[in-house]
């Protein structure tokens, strides 16, 4: 019974659902039907009955032509890197991917997500810097990546900006990294997931407009994330300073 040898481990609100579904369209990749299994977030992850339950998300026998068995749980990507160590205990050295989004945009998306779920009251303008559900701390990718690399130095980080700019090229790059023939047609990548405008329209909320960050909160977040963005830039050898600039 194969267990996953490919995991998308982060980050929340950064296109992981889209990538999971996109890669799952390759004949070389088995993607779990359910995303976000959260198995390694559980303290009893190593209990035999829990591992057996986890394994039911994957085929009972290897499938011809399938090189990777994949699950995706973006909430794995956090510090301390307890999950990274748990992964190693059960899976050894699986291939790990992470997609990282401008942390200020991610904060807005996460806050809106919790608002839609009824955890926060509606306000047309978000002006609170909170971490009740790790809205802020899950955006400190530099610290998280540095900690994860100490356990899994081959974890491959990607940038959400690149996904938005060229989805076809982005997936092609991932397939190259996985050393797989890219059999995913461009037309199969033309879809959206977790669209909050659609979710709002389908919900029973009285409010009709999605909230936006206030200018003052955007400035506070830029200042709060500045050191970590610089660290991530150093780790990835990439200039990410544009993340901290005011939106147009």
- CA distances from residue 245 to 103, 105, 110, 136, 237 in whole angstroms, order as listed: 12, 12, 20, 18, 19
Q: What is the mean pLDDT of residues 189-202?
A: 64
pLDDT for res 248: 54
CB contact at 8 A, 30 and 58: yes
Whether 1 is covered by a domain: the verdict is no
Across all residues in the chain, what is the average pLDDT? 93
**pLDDT of 193 above 70:** no
pLDDT for res 200: 52
- What is the enclosing helix (H) or strand (E) of 94? none
pLDDT for res 134: 94
Whether 123 is covered by a domain: the verdict is yes
pLDDT for res 206: 64
**pLDDT of 159 above 70:** yes
The predicted-structure confidence for 14-26, as pLDDT tens digits, reads as follows: 999 999 999 999 9
- DSSP assignment of 124-171: SEE-----TTSTTGGG-HHHHHHHHHHH-TT-EEEEHHHHHH-HHHHH
Whether 217 is covered by a domain: the verdict is yes
Q: Poorest-confidence range of 26-30, 44-48, 190-194, 210-214?
A: 190-194
Q: What is the mean pLDDT of residues 138-152?
A: 98
Q: Domain range for residue 156?
A: 6-244
CB contact at 8 A, 159 and 32: no
Contacts of 5 (CB under 8 A, 6+ apart): 68, 69, 91, 94, 95
- What is the enclosing helix (H) or strand (E) of 175? helix 167-177
Confidence of residue 195 (pLDDT cuts 50, 70, 90): low
pLDDT for res 158: 98
The pTM assigned to this predicted structure is 0.92
pLDDT for res 118: 87
**pLDDT of 98 above 60:** yes
206 against 6, higher pLDDT? 6
Residue 82 to residue 8: CA distance in whole angstroms: 16
The number of domains in the chain is: 1
Residue 105 to residue 221: CA distance in whole angstroms: 10
The CATH number given to whatever domain includes residue 59 is: 3.40.50.300
């Amino acid at each position: 019974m194969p267990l996953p040898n490919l995991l998308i481990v982060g980050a929340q609100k950064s296109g992981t659902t889209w990538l999971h579904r996109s890669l799952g369209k390759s004949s070389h990749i088995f993607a779990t039907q359910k995303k976000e299994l959260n198995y390694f977030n559980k303290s009893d992850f190593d209990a035999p009955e829990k591992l057996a339950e986890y394994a039911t998300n994957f085929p009972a026998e290897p499938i011809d032509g399938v090189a990777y068995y994949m699950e995706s749980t973006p909430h794995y990507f956090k510090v301390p890197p307890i999950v990274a160590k748990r992964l190693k205990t059960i899976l050894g050295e699986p291939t790990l991917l992470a997609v990282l989004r401008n942390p200020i945009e991610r904060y807005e998306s996460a806050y809106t997500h919790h608002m839609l779920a009824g955890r926060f009251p509606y306000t047309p303008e978000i002006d609170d810097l909170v971490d009740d559900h790790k809205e802020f701390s899950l955006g400190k990718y530099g610290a998280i990546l540095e900690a994860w690399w100490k356990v899994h130095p081959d974890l491959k980080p990607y940038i959400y900006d690149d996904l938005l700019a060229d989805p076809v090229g982005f997936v092609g790059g991932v397939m190259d990294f996985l050393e797989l023939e890219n059999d995913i047609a461009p037309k199969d990548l033309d879809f959206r997931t977790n669209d909050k405008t659609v979710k709002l329209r389908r919900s029973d909320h009285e409010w009709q407009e999605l909230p936006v960050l206030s200018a003052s909160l955007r400035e506070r977040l830029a200042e709060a994330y500045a050191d970590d963005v610089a660290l991530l830039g150093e780790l990835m050898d990439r200039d990410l300073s544009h993340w901290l600039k005011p939106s147009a």
